Chain A
């Protein structure tokens, strides 16, 4: 039985590194246009879960479907799926030897086989979308963290992905730079992008997420809309976690 409404289905994903069980059976379905935020203590498998979705980490068991096509066990076809699954990393991972615009266009040229002219136009368009068009000819080392992260978002978006994965996109940034990156992400939410976001930004999660998943010990312990998580007494563990956060951030 497949449910066509879901753009992404994750079924019982397990992953262990040696004896360390990082994911102990995670299942979740995501609808088109939804934003799902993953929160929870460090080391509970949030990032590993994201990396399993585009197979940067190969899960030990479980299945992942994108538009009802199986991503797990895709073999060389994984490169096709990865074009549809954009990813943004905590440390940006911009290509250090390429200017901002070259960073965005390189995969268009090498993977999508666009013509140089077409690729440059597309790259400039995406840079404009994240407010970085004026920095197109600058190298990563010349950009602030927030600027670098916006370029890396443009790089992922240039592939016209169907979903976007954000792995703690603002954890390496100070509050000022965090804000400029979150602005870009909010715009994506409004534009209807399907997004899975691992974050510690509770304000962002509460304001834009359709669903918040609280993860602990390699599992999704509690999930619901921001309102449910905050008001429903059922979600005790999550509230305690958020509470701890608030305590320290005040």
Chain B
């Protein structure tokens, strides 16, 4: 009975999975796209830049995601006359929120690279920009990856909060199915299992990449 309901509703649930993964992917892209430049700004930037970034990080880490979501959905986007669908608001908020955390993961990794690497690069005639791009970042990104990999399951699980603004993601669709069929536990069970499988698949993928780009004697887990 429950199983046949699940099978009947699976296509509906599946488009929820697609939306959830869409949220996560966009949030991660926004997170890296903003988090990495922020980390560089914090390490190499002027005092004004560093201060601005600190305020950003303090703001986004200081508020619950749900509060941020409401703030942007009901306040900031309407005030900017941006009439965005809930999905985009969710992706942007998760991305901006994740960027605050990711910037600190990247910053720590960049700062862990010894000064000598920059010195040697500059002594060969590389500009500061070339040295950061070709020498510092390839090392820092490898060091950052294990810490950064937390972001995937974190954003994946947090994405369910977009339920609150009506994004038709996995949890939203699950509860819609529940209210249609009055079958509760099996549906939420399926929802939970899907979340866990998505989380597992993603982190395994990141571990695979970690191993793929590992360098003998360099980075975490090697030494």
Residue numbers of A with Cβ under 8 A of B are: 54, 56, 76, 79-80, 82-83, 85-87, 89, 91, 93-97, 106-107, 110-111, 139-142, 152, 155-156, 159
How distant is the Cα of A93 from the Cα of B115 in the complex, in angstroms? 9
Count: A-B pairs, CB below 8 Å: 78
Interface of B is mostly: helix
In the complex, the answer to whether B123 meets A54 with C-beta atoms within 8 Å is yes
Known contacts: A107-B126, A111-B130. The answer to whether A139 contacts B121 by CB under 8 A is no
How many B residues, CB 8 Å from partner?
A: 23
Q: In the bound complex, do residue A83 and residue B218 qualify as a contact, i.e. CB atoms below 8 Å apart? A: no
Task: Say yes or no: B215 contacts A93, CB within 8 Å.
Answer: no
Q: Which residue on A lies nearest to B116, using beta carbons?
A: A93
Q: Which residue of B lies closest to A55 (CB)?
A: B122
In the complex, chain B residues whose CB is within 8 Å of the CB of A159: 124-125
Docked CA distance A18–B217 (Å): 38
| Option from B116, B126, B222 in Cβ contact (under 8 Å) with A89 | B116
What are 5 A-B contacts with C-beta separation under 8 Å?
Answer: A80-B125, A89-B120, A93-B114, A97-B142, A107-B126
Q: Are B217 and A142 in contact (CB under 8 A)?
A: yes
Let me know if B126 and A111 touch, CB within 8 A: yes
CA distance A93 to B135 in the complex (A): 11
Hey, what's the 0/1 contact readout for B125-140 against A, CB within 8 Å counting as 1? Answer: 1110010001100110
Task: Among A82, A94, A96, point to the contact of B215 (Cβ < 8 A).
Answer: A96
Q: Is the CB of A97 within 8 A of B120?
A: no
The distance from the CB of B138 to the nearest CB of chain A, in whole angstroms, is: 5
Mark out the residues of chain B between 79 and 124 whose CB falls within 8 Å of any chain A CB in the assembled complex: 114, 116-117, 119-124
Q: Which residues in B have their C-beta under 8 angstroms from that of A80?
A: 125
A139 near B216 with CB under 8 A, answer yes
Task: Compute how far the CA of A210 lies from the CA of B138 in the bound complex, rounded to whole angstroms.
Answer: 42
Distance in angstroms from B139 CB to nearest chain A CB is: 5
Are the CB atoms of B216 and A107 closer together than 8 Å? no
Query: With the chains together, A156 CA to B122 CA distance in Å?
Result: 12
* Complex contact B217–A139 (CB within 8 A): yes
B122 touches A96 (CB 8 A): no
What is the CA–CA distance of A43 and B134 in the complex, to the nearest angstrom? 33
Given the interface pairs A107-B125, A139-B217, the reply to whether A89 lies near B119 with Cβ below 8 Å is: yes
Chain A residues, Cβ within 8 Å of B117: 93, 95-96
Question: Which of B124, B139, B215 sits near A111, CB closer than 8 Å?
Answer: B124
Query: A54 vs B121: C-alpha distance in the bound complex, in angstroms?
Result: 12
Choice from B134, B142, B215, B222 contacting A106 with Cβ under 8 Å: B134
A79-B125 CB under 8 A given contacts A97-B139, A139-B215:
yes
Beyond A96-B117, A96-B217, A97-B135, 14 additional contacts (C-beta under 8 Å) are A56-B122, A79-B125, A79-B127, A80-B125, A82-B125, A83-B124, A87-B120, A94-B120, A95-B139, A96-B218, A97-B138, A110-B126, A141-B215, A156-B124
Contact of B124 among A76, A141, A155 (CB under 8 A): A155
In the complex, the answer to whether A87 meets B134 with C-beta atoms within 8 Å is: no
Interface hits, B139-173 → A, CB 8 Å: 139, 142
Smallest beta-carbon distance B208→chain A, Å: 19
- Give residues 192-223 of B contacting A (CB, 8 Å): 215-218, 222
CB distance from B84 to the nearest CB of A (A): 40
A232 to B127 CA separation, bound complex (whole angstroms): 46
Residues of B within 8 A of A56 (CB): 119, 122-123
B172 to chain A, nearest CB (A): 43
Is A93 in contact with B120, judged by CB distance below 8 angstroms?
yes
Min Cβ gap A98→B in Å is 8
Docked-complex contact B124 and A142, CB < 8 angstroms: no
Given contacts A79-B125, A139-B215, A141-B217, contact A95 B130 (CB under 8 A): no
Report how far A56 CA is from B123 CA in the complex, Å. Answer: 7
| Contact A79 to B217, CB < 8 A, known contacts A97-B138, A97-B142 | no
CA A141 to CA B142, docked complex, whole Å: 16
Pairs A-B, 4 closest by C-beta atoms = A141-B217, A93-B120, A93-B116, A107-B124
